[in-house]
Amino acid sequence: MQYFNLHTHEFKNQEHVLELVNQYPQEFDTGLPNYSIGIHPLYINEDRLESDFEILEQKAALPECLAIGECGLDKRSETAFEIQLNVLEKQFLLAEKFQKPVVIHCVHAFQELIELKNKLKITIPVIIHGFSKKEQLAKQLLDNGFYLSFGRYLLLNPELEHVFNNVPENRFFLETDTSDYSIEEVYALAAKYRKITIAELQQIISNTFDSVFTNK
């Protein structure tokens, strides 16, 4: 693995890239070598939650499943926030059961996310994907044990350079999500910001990958 893409919705099947491809229970691609699977807060369907969780538990048990997610909290969602909290709590507990990290989508609900993680005493790694916020929130999340993943906003927002550079080297990942940017482009800018070579950055992320995604 030269590159690790923490979160993408498109499998490109490149030998030098390990891609964690996002999957949903009702739209599952059985041909993927590695995936995460979760119930997204924007796509909660209360009429089929029982079957969604049955599929989720079945797929989460497989070795190809590296993480639960993306799941999380989003105050733009039409689904009541209490239901979102309940669905996320069940996914956190499932992740604990299978000892798989969690990939989080969070919009306008970081305090509630932190509170839920701490209330449940979650021990597995929890990664905020697509982080684009200010340093104060980054520090709060890091202090509460979260990992941060950076993608297109790192390329689009120069103000994120300072935030990114202040994340410890063992607490971040890189991703493409749904953007047209390649993971190579994200790595190139991240290495430039850190003032290290791409090879050094690859080793850093490889080490973090081993500690987060390899069962001890």
3-class state of residue 104 by DSSP: strand
Is position 70 annotated in a ligand binding site? yes
Is position 105 annotated in a ligand binding site? yes
Query: Does residue 64 have a cis bond before it (omega within 30 degrees)?
Result: no
> What does the alpha-carbon distance between residue 184 and residue 187 come to, in Å, rounded to a whole number?
5
> What does the alpha-carbon distance between residue 148 and residue 174 come to, in Å, rounded to a whole number?
9
Q: Residue 87: which of 121, 124, 41, 56 has the closest Cα?
A: 41
Contact 88, 71 (CB under 8 A): yes
Element (H, E) at 8: strand 3-8
Joined together, the tokens standing for residue 166 give 């202040």
Q: What φ, ψ does residue 80 adopt, rounded to 5°?
A: -55, 140
Is position 7 annotated in a ligand binding site? no
Quote the Cα angle for 142-150-25, to 5°.
Answer: 95
Positions at the binding site for a divalent metal cation: 70, 105, 129, 177
Positions at the binding site: 70, 105, 129, 177
